[in-house]
Structure 1
Amino acid sequence: MFDALKLGAKIECDTFDPLRRSLKASYYGFKDGKTAWIELSQASGLALLNDSEKNPLLTSTYGTGLQINHALENGFTTIILGIGGSATHDLGTGIFEALGGKLLDHTKNSLHAKGEHLARCTELDFKNLNTKLLNTTTIVACDVTNTLLGKTGAAYTYAPQKGASPAVVAQLEEGATHFAKLVQQKRNKDLTQIKGGGAAGGTAAGMFGLFDSTLKPGFDLLSDLTALEERVREADLLITGEGKTDNQSQYGKVPFKLAELAKKYHKPLLLFAGSVSATPEILTRAGITAAYAIKTETMTLDYAKTHAYSLLKDAVLKNLKNHI
């Protein structure tokens, strides 16, 4: 069985949540002492906020940037950034700010990085950026394929899950469009055409534009580390899950990537999620044998979160017998 501890260990550091409140969060340092895996959700994740706090105009990836900075100062020279579960739509500008960069408005005043300030930024200041980045490789582990802008882009596809109203979605789209033009002018980097650039509120695109990061499928990175394909080939039954499975999950989310392997080796795959709204046609076509929601329509979200373990256990035990 895969044992993560044989590959390295968790490292805890002081950082901030999406609203810049202090917290401690961890990242993973591999035993080579050179490679660190940082999950954006640890400091910039939606799960760190209650429902009334969710607003991608106000949230930031600044805390994730502090984690990256901690890794750099501790000698890691390859940073892999996993970007699932974000609460943000700041195009990674919070990371840029935390690493010493500055966003300036038309009066040369500094702006705090967050979604509502993208449209106000007219200059990027790299002078005080952490110099260790010059000798660091940054890789964004990105499984979704959405580009930054448009109806299947970051704002329209993902911002509503983060608390954005239709008006806020339009504002975020406008801000991202403006910022992409700025990066094109200043860095000669086109953020709009990158496959996966819309992931995590445009963090993937921002990392590419601001840090020359490479985007690679996170599923493939982890699959290689865990010899996943071989394990799927030897398995009799696969079980996977995510918080919410809807039609956008087909754009590279882990359950659908796992389903590709399930189809390849003709293995049944069961999906358990908090809620399932993806159409049966999409699920079947992907290779998902059956999908089960652990939250009922009459159950409150707070109850589902509090009792997630028992609800998942009951759902698995109830439905597994139909497939063995």
Structure 2
Amino acid sequence: MRILIASDSFKGTLSSKEVALCIEEGLKKILNEAEYEKVILADGGEGTLESVCSILKDCTIFKDEVLNPLGEKIQSQYAFIDEDTALIEMAKSTGLTLVDENKRDILNSTSFGLGQLIAHSVKRGAKKLIIGIGGSATNDAGLGMLQALGVKFFDKHNIDISAQRVLKAKDLALVDSFDISEIRYLRDIKILIASDVSNPLCGKEGATYIFAKQKGATQEQLILLEELITKFAVLCEKRLIKKTKDEAGSGAAGGVGFALHSFLNAKFSSGIDTISSLINLEDKIQKANLVITGEGRVDEQTTYGKTIMGVLKYTKKYDKPCIVIAGSLAKGYEKLYAHGVTAIFDTTFSNNLSFEELKVSSKENLVSTAYNIANILQLKLKD
């Protein structure tokens, strides 16, 4: 029996790799003779680099110093997956997990570090970039990233503010014009944005109102950020003669999707489909007898392009049984059954525990859940 374990991380609790190891441990207590394959899944967000480089033999990881969302120096990583293609995970430079919860300051955050990673990879010879832009801590419409790449920004007095300091989200208020002449070196670079966010840049369904609150923005800051981003977007569309702020995906990563698409002609692609293709997930699922997947929270939103759906796309295609293990279940999880799920299990065992309490027992609970599943499978095999 070939069992493929292909799960996303349980965010804030266990990494994708830890999830897979726990599931395997629980299953092996009963199904010890089965053949196991573990795949680290990601959709362009946190864990993307690990997912791809754990599979591709030719993946080469490079380290460089960049700035984190608060402008502090950190060591970051990116990878070359072939001779001229670089894979960049935005979360490695500008991710929410890089900032302590009590230090999050969205108005003073910047995507500058992502721009540095892009510049480093191009300097190393990259001709094509695959950029996963999930898990960001920023809402600066890519202002910092563009600055790091060489775009100059001027205020209403024609003063080059980009020469004075690293620009942050609040500096969108100062931008009156810009000069893109110094990013001509990126003209022939092909850029693919790996993201499953389909939101536009502005409006009630845009970057600010949908995502900024979870990055620490207050209600007052939401109103201000929306005003600043809209003003910046109108300026960019007028100067670049491109209508891109309303395009699906422009609101990804606090507007980094908009900046990459508008200034660098980047193309949008499904994050989970892009990563699945790189790690040859379809072939692995086709060869498996059983697929086990999961993520930290499974609810109605899971059906809207989350990582699990990337797995179900292929399990349904090849009529493979698929079990979903969730860190927690919420309203609407039943909709997954319409997409070919065989069974769904919850690891929490109790509705009366806090998230912090559940974190302590997360590994133990996941192993126990997998063990229970193995017992059910054993009975099924005997039949």
What is the TM-score normalised by the length of structure 2?
Answer: 0.74
Please say if residues 144 and 251 of structure 1, whose CA atoms lie closer than 8 Å, have aligned partners that are also in contact.
no
Separation (CA, whole Å) in 2 of partners of 1:106 and 1:243: 47
Distance 1:187 1:37, change over 3 A: same
- Out of 62, 67, 72, the position equivalent to 1:11 is 62
* Local SS of the residue matching 2:260: helix
Higher relative contact order (CA 8 A, sep 6+): 2
Deviation of residue 36 (structure 1)? 0.2
Shift of 1:183: 1.1
Q: Please, which of 194, 199, 206 is the counterpart of residue 252 of structure 2?
A: 199
Local SS of the residue matching 1:135: coil
8 A Cα contact 2:56 2:279, kept in partner: no
How many angstroms apart in 1 are the aligned matches of 2:302 and 2:108? 25
* Aligned positions of 1:275-286 closer than 5 A: 275-277=328-330, 279-286=332-339
Tell me the residue number matched to 2:241. Answer: 188
Q: For structure 1, list consecutive stretches of 5 or more residues without a partner in the other structure.
A: none
Query: Is the CA contact 1:149–1:155 (under 8 Å) kept in the aligned structure 2?
Result: yes
> CA, structure 1 residues 270+20, in 2 after alignment: closer, same or farther (shift >3 Å)?
farther
SS, match of residue 259 in structure 1: helix
User: Of residues 138, 144, 153 in structure 2, which corresponds to 1:103?
Assistant: 153
- Structure 1's 208 and 259: CA in aligned 2 closer, same or farther, altered over 3 A? same
Structure 2 residue 269 is the aligned partner of structure 1 residue 219: no
SS at match of 2:113: helix
* Contact 2:200–2:250 (8 Å) recurs in 1: yes
1:297 deviates by 5.6
Which of 215, 219, 230 aligns to 1:177? It is 230
Aligned to 2:143: 93
Q: CA deviation at 1:237?
A: 2.8
* Residues 1:307 and 1:230: Cα distance change in structure 2 (over 3 Å): same
Asked whether 1:124 is paired with 2:190, we answer no
Query: Conserved in 2, the CA contact under 8 Å of 1:103 and 1:113?
Result: no
How far apart in 2 are the matches of 1:107 and 1:302?
55
Partner of 2:77: 26
Cα separation, partners in 2 of 1:260 and 1:156, compared to 1, 3 Å: farther
C-alpha displacement of 1:208: 0.4
Q: 1:78: which partner in 2?
A: 128
RMSD over equivalenced CA pairs, Å? 2.8
Aligned length: 321
Separation of aligned partners in 2, 1:275 and 1:103:
45
Instruction: State the secondary structure of the residue aligned to 2:181.
Output: coil
CA distance in 1, matches of 2:190, 2:242: 18
Identical amino acids, percent of aligned pairs: 31
Cα distance in 1, alignment partners of residues 351 and 234 from structure 2? 44
Quick one: which amino acid aligns to residue 182 of structure 2?
Answer: N
- Distance in 2, matches of 1:278 and 1:172, equals 31
Cα distance change on mapping 1:291 and 1:107 into 2, 3 Å: farther
Tell me which residue corresponds to 1:231.
284
Contact 1:10 1:28 in 2 (8 A): yes
Are 2:117 and 1:67 equivalent residues in the alignment? yes
**How far is 1:56 from its partner?**
2.5
Give the direction of change, closer, same or farther, for the CA distance of 1:134–1:322 in structure 2 (3 Å limit): same
1:298 to 337, 342, 353: 353
1:251-297 Cα shifts (integer Å, max 9, x gaps): 32222232233333333434445554452244444545425355966
- Rg bigger for which structure? 2
Q: 1:137 Cα shift?
A: 1.3
| Larger CA deviation: 182-191 vs 97-106 | 97-106
